[in-house]
A and B are shown apart, each in its own frame.
Chain A
Amino acid sequence: MTPPGWKCPRRIGFLFPHACPRLTPEGCPDCQGGEVADPYVRRTDRYFYRSYDYYDDSLTGYALAEVADTLDPRFTEADGESLVTQQEDAGGGDGGGYEDDTSAS
């Protein structure tokens, strides 16, 4: 029997994963009474997509590189100031300037 206040820990959904709102796994068509650990991943009705939730690491890397490319590589005066300020803060505070401090070891 399901204890009162029980919350389903499984992911469900067709397009994207979201929490299951059911109050009991009994008779659940998604997890089939608690038999399926991740109903979202186990679905096989997404047309051509056999592994819909799987993305190759290279894809994420490629996409992140795309994000990096969109950033402006040119430094402005403001960037320079912020870098100097950050270093000074770090060096004076928690020892972050260790690499630039020739007197340290």
Chain B
Amino acid sequence: MAVNQQEIEKAGIYEAKTPLSSLLADLEQIAAISATVAARGKKKRKLGGWIILAGVIGCVIGAATGLSALVGLCFLLMIAGFIWWIVNLLSGRAFLAHAGRLEIAKQRIAMLQQDASDKAPFTCRLVLSAKPTTLSDEKWPGRKNGKQQLLEDRWLSLEGPLLDGTVVTDEIKDLTRKRTFSTPRGKTKTKVRLTHLVNVRFDYPPKVYGNARPAEKALHGEVQVALSATLRGVKVTEKAIALKATVLEEKHILPTAGMLSVGGYRILNLARKMSDGQQGKTK
């Protein structure tokens, strides 16, 4: 599936329902678009720099030779160059700001590809430019003029079936806590804290795995996560396993998603062994 460059640059959102190999190819294409946009922006900013330099040189020559018209013209040229430079610094910035998200999505898809059919369609939604929604906006009594905002940016959703009939659902969000307050000197300060939330859910077929709850109890919640991550919960029901972790560093998001998956399947694989054992006994 071809990616619409203009659309992805403008909206910064990629959405598709297609097999994982196809998703991966699309994300590679987006990576190539990102590189092109970054190179184009750099080239344009360089041009802005040259225009500013030409304006400065023109001003100096004009001042030295006493040509006031040349000074005025070159001054305008300098301003135009500066505006050009600023515009190109800001344009496409939102789309390029989260290059890490693209890499995480690509590697997560490659990870799931090992246990999924080449033909099974997966739903993917990847947001490359930050689009946070406000969860709460309230007074923060801790400080003078204190205000606290909680923002959520759900940037990756991935869902599809694996070879064993289990449906895997990934969801990665950025949670931001923004606190604004006044210092005793009257200055306004803003403190921002960012946490990544990784949710992995497996809707497993009970025909294959039976009930996974006894297996989870037997393993005593044996799920480990990456260094800057904290396991927030493992919920096992007769039909699904949901695992949740918060991550402080972006580089630990992918390992955490992998560890949650491996931890979830450690439970499911034991459940399957038990289910097979019980079926063997009843036969």
Contacts and interface: CB of A to CB of B under 8 A. Distances in A.
A and B part of one assembly: yes
B97 to A, nearest CB: 29
A48 B261 contact: no
A64 B270 CA distance: 11
Contact of B218 (A14, A15, A66): A66
A53 B214 contact: no
Contact of B163 (A18, A48, A60, A64): A18
B61 interface: no
**What class of interface size applies to chain B in its complex with A?**
20 to 34
A46 B262 contact: yes
A67 B115 contact: no
Contact of A47 (B218, B258, B270, B277): B258
Interface in A43-70: 46-49, 52-53, 55, 59-60, 62-64, 66-67, 70
Interface string B105-125: 000000100110000000000
A39 B131 CA distance: 42
Interface string A7-49: 0000011111010000000000000000000000000001111
A64 B279 CA distance: 12
A14 B113 CA distance: 9
Contact of A70 (B214, B219, B262, B274): B214
Nearest to A17: B269
Contact of A49 (B162, B262, B270): B262
Given A15-B162, A63-B218, A47 B115 contact: no
A63 B274 contact: yes
A47 B259 contact: yes
A63 B265 CA distance: 16
Contacts of A53: 269
Which of B258, B268, B274 has the largest number of chain A CB atoms within 10 A?
B274
B143 to A, nearest CB: 41
Contacts of B214: 63-64, 66-67, 70
Which of B262, B270, B273 has the largest number of chain A CB atoms within 10 A?
B262
A81 B258 CA distance: 51
Contacts of A47: 224, 255, 258-259, 262
Contacts of A60: 218, 270, 273-274, 277
The 10 closest A-B pairs by CB, nearest first: A66-B214, A63-B218, A15-B265, A14-B114, A63-B214, A62-B218, A48-B224, A59-B218, A67-B214, A18-B163
8 contacts: A16-B265, A47-B255, A47-B262, A52-B262, A60-B270, A60-B274, A60-B277, A66-B217
